[in-house]
Structure 1
Amino acid sequence: MATKPTNNPELLKLRDEIDGIDAEIQRLINARAECAQRVAEVKLEARKSGLEDAVFYRPEREAQVLQRVMARNSGPLDNEDMAKLFREIMSACLALEKPVEVAYLGPEGTFTQQAAMKHFGQWAKTKPLLAIDEVFREVEAGAVNYGVVPVENSTEGVVNHTLDTFLNSNLKICGEVELRIHQHLMIGKNTQQKAISRVYSHQQSLAQCRKWLDAHMPHVERIAVNSNAEAAKRVHSEWNAAAIAGEMAAELYDLDIIHQKIEDRPDNSTRFLIIGQQYVQPSGNDKTSLIVSMRNGPGVLFNLLEAFSKHSIDMTRLETRPSPSGSWAYVFFIDFKGHLEEEHVQKAMLEVRERAVEVKVLGSYPMAVL
């Protein structure tokens, strides 16, 4: 039955106002896109003249724009929702200059793909790869502009494969993404809940949902696979299995979510790194990552940390991994707040280099905005 058109004059007036605002928003978005096109032309001319490289994507610039969007937001949309809208506008405008090509740890439907889309927007060209070292190689070869790899989870800790790959790579960290991880239990269209005898997921997701599974599915076999997306793909055609994965995987493989947010910790989140070949300028709210090799001996870690404390540098992470050289030697992965171009960071780095056997800077980059 057709809905009767409203005759409420106040409602009609508000709708007219919305139509006028929409038209103005559309005009301004296109004006921004035209400006982005002119920026691309200027960059290309500068490159032809040998004045500078035509770098189309500037991580620090995008971080600054999003920070300003959130700072001046007055509601009723919250800061993050407003920033997400601008992220997509920026992604579309950048695609007019030159689409960003991004490799990520796949397959399609993984949380890493979700992180890539969150950081680069829907207009980025994404390419799934099946291993972390493949993502590194693709970026190193210049086949894509950037890569996205997981580095740590708030529940299960660091992704050692990512850290170890940095030891032999010349790539830089150009940014980071923090993604709230919600795990869902899903089944195929032909699966009966009472018939579920096994559940597939990545080993980290199984670990993140251990208590829920113990309480609700104690006798169901848990099978670890390479990714949550692979788990979702498997159960699409199985009648007695379920998968633990994210919402994107459920949509991609046409599965029904039967239990939402089954992760044991509600604050469960994963941090992802953006890897590339460019040096990133300061954004005003940055983080720096290092690999530091130290000589074995008493007090070496204390001496290393003292340099950061002395110059009031906030260290956000410290991880230890075996050194490739063997002989029971270790290297330290360090994250701290600040950019290499800041004076107090330079002073601290000078002391660190004096005390360490080797220091490898993985990059200074904007802290996650979204």
Structure 2
Amino acid sequence: MDLLELRNEIDKLDDELIPLLLKRMDISRQVAEYKVQNGIPVLNEQRELEILEDVASKCGEQGEVIKTVFSAIMDASRALQHKIIGGGEELRNLISNAKCEKNLTANGEPIACQGVQGAYSGEAAKALFPDSPIDFHKQFEDVFEAVNQNKARFGIIPVENSTAGSVHESYDLIMKYKFFIVGAYDLRVDHCLCAKPGVKFEDIENVYSHTQALSQCNIFLKNFDFTGITFSNTAAAAKFVSESEKNNIAAICSESAAKKYGLKIIRKGIQNVTNNTTRFIVISKELVIDEDAEKISLIFSAPHRTGSLYRVLGRFSMTGLNLTKLESRPVANGRFDYYFYVDILGSVRDEQTLDLLCALSDELPEFSFLGNYYEGK
């Protein structure tokens, strides 16, 4: 047989498979109706495992491959059953009772940020909430606590940078507190090398800044043999340098921070890439969904079995949803278990999307809906 004949054979087999698959889905629909009438949950994990092992044993060398195909068929059948049964009642109620706003506002209440005046998080807060006072806090967790104790309406924290990647501490705190994400903002970040007036470029030995800023400028630091020293925040580093008696140190910070603390800007735009951008999120104890919400954030865990994460991610693809972020972080239980943080493009106002989220909330051992929000730029 030549290639064309082989492809024709595959086409014939596909034509035979399609009506069988459609028949299987129709029977799944009937199963769902039976489960509704008898109060039976959609997922029967033990039955699925038994079927998959039976399939693998019947298929010899192709056992694992065919098992993957059957897993996808089962996932599709389960999705159909969830749609018919309408599970995930707790999540549906949470979303239906959420506050809805056209543009997110704090109504003049304080906004919590990490760092000191001149910090990039403060710039993001001003862009999002120009009419609110900004309270700065020393640590990222202090921002969460300010929101937790109702000392601030919202908190602003950085979660990732287009050059240096994720801010892992932020994701760990998101997973610890599981507050809602009600907004996001992408801030263009231009770093400057700054020192006290009178300090010359050639005198600088040590450069202070946040670890993310040092990473975003590591090519510049390496080229001039500067030693990067980690500090809690870029603006706090600028404040430290301005108050230090040393004349061989500098800070990497924003232009506004340099002006705030009386530093001289020695070099501008020292970041590795010109379009350096940091994404900030808005955290809240109350779920608020913007009318123009376009991004959904979730936390979940998957069963400790081969292919379990693959199957969960396949459900998003099956619904036509695009994942823009997947972050794994360890569960602090000493067993090498992991939480998965996911960002997807979509809206809970879409029926299929809501059905999927509700299905996953029923099926997965851990599942938290963090929010559906608009990301400004």
TM-score > 0.5 by shorter chain: yes
Amino acid at match of 2:144: F
- 1:107 matches 2:123: no
1:129 CA drift (Å): 0.3
- Point out the more displaced range, 257-266 or 276-285: 276-285
Alignment equivalent of 1:344, drawn from 352, 362, 368? 352
Separation of aligned partners in 2, 1:277 and 1:228: 27
Given that residues 207 and 252 in structure 2 are in contact (C-alpha distance below 8 angstroms), is that contact kept between their aligned partners in structure 1?
yes
Given that residues 293 and 372 in structure 2 are in contact (C-alpha distance below 8 angstroms), is that contact kept between their aligned partners in structure 1?
no
Amino acid at match of 1:102: I
Q: State the match for 1:260 in structure 2.
A: 268
SS at structure 2 position matched to 1:115: helix
- 1:235 matches 2:241: yes
TM-score normalised to structure 1 length: 0.71
1:353 CA drift (Å): 3.0
Given that residues 193 and 267 in structure 2 are in contact (C-alpha distance below 8 angstroms), is that contact kept between their aligned partners in structure 1?
yes
Alignment equivalent of 2:338, drawn from 330, 334, 342? 330
Residues 125 and 343 of structure 1: is their aligned pair in 2 closer, same or farther, counting only changes over 3 Å? Answer: same
Residues 59 and 203 of structure 1: is their aligned pair in 2 closer, same or farther, counting only changes over 3 Å? Answer: farther
Given that residues 175 and 273 in structure 1 are in contact (C-alpha distance below 8 angstroms), is that contact kept between their aligned partners in structure 2?
yes
Amino acid at match of 2:170: T
Cα deviation code 1:69-108 (max 9, x no counterpart):
xxxxxxxxxxxxxxxxxxxxxx8xx8xxx41310101122
Residues 146 and 285 of structure 1: is their aligned pair in 2 closer, same or farther, counting only changes over 3 Å? Answer: closer
Separation of aligned partners in 2, 1:353 and 1:334: 14
SS at structure 1 position matched to 2:136: strand
Separation of aligned partners in 1, 2:227 and 2:327: 33
User: 1:1-370 to 2 correspondence within 5 Å?
Assistant: 60-62=101-103, 98-121=107-130, 123-215=131-223, 217-218=224-225, 220-237=226-243, 238-366=246-374, 368-370=375-377
- Larger Rg over CA atoms: 2
Separation of aligned partners in 1, 2:178 and 2:325: 21
Amino acid at match of 2:187: L
Separation of aligned partners in 2, 1:117 and 1:282: 19
SS at structure 2 position matched to 1:99: coil
In the TM superposition, structure 1's runs of 4+ consecutive aligned residues that sit over 4 Å from their partners are none
- Point out the more displaced range, 319-328 or 331-340: 319-328
Q: State the match for 1:46 in structure 2.
A: none
1:124 CA drift (Å): 1.2
Q: State the match for 1:77 in structure 2.
A: none
Residues 192 and 147 of structure 1: is their aligned pair in 2 closer, same or farther, counting only changes over 3 Å? Answer: same
Residues 170 and 330 of structure 1: is their aligned pair in 2 closer, same or farther, counting only changes over 3 Å? Answer: closer
Separation of aligned partners in 1, 2:323 and 2:101: 21
Cα deviation code 1:98-124 (max 9, x no counterpart):
413101011221111111111112x31
Cα deviation code 1:273-328 (max 9, x no counterpart):
10112222342342111101111111111110111111101111111111233311
SS at structure 2 position matched to 1:281: strand
TM-score normalised to structure 2 length: 0.70
SS at structure 2 position matched to 1:266: coil
Given that residues 100 and 145 in structure 1 are in contact (C-alpha distance below 8 angstroms), is that contact kept between their aligned partners in structure 2?
yes
Q: State the match for 1:75 in structure 2.
A: none
Residues 205 and 59 of structure 1: is their aligned pair in 2 closer, same or farther, counting only changes over 3 Å? Answer: farther
Residues 281 and 211 of structure 1: is their aligned pair in 2 closer, same or farther, counting only changes over 3 Å? Answer: closer
Residues 184 and 320 of structure 1: is their aligned pair in 2 closer, same or farther, counting only changes over 3 Å? Answer: same
Separation of aligned partners in 2, 1:110 and 1:59: 30
Separation of aligned partners in 2, 1:129 and 1:99: 19
Separation of aligned partners in 1, 2:216 and 2:115: 20
Separation of aligned partners in 1, 2:112 and 2:290: 25
Separation of aligned partners in 2, 1:326 and 1:354: 26
SS at structure 2 position matched to 1:167: helix
- Unmatched runs of 5 consecutive residues or more in structure 2: 1-98
Residues 194 and 281 of structure 1: is their aligned pair in 2 closer, same or farther, counting only changes over 3 Å? Answer: closer
Residues 347 and 235 of structure 1: is their aligned pair in 2 closer, same or farther, counting only changes over 3 Å? Answer: same
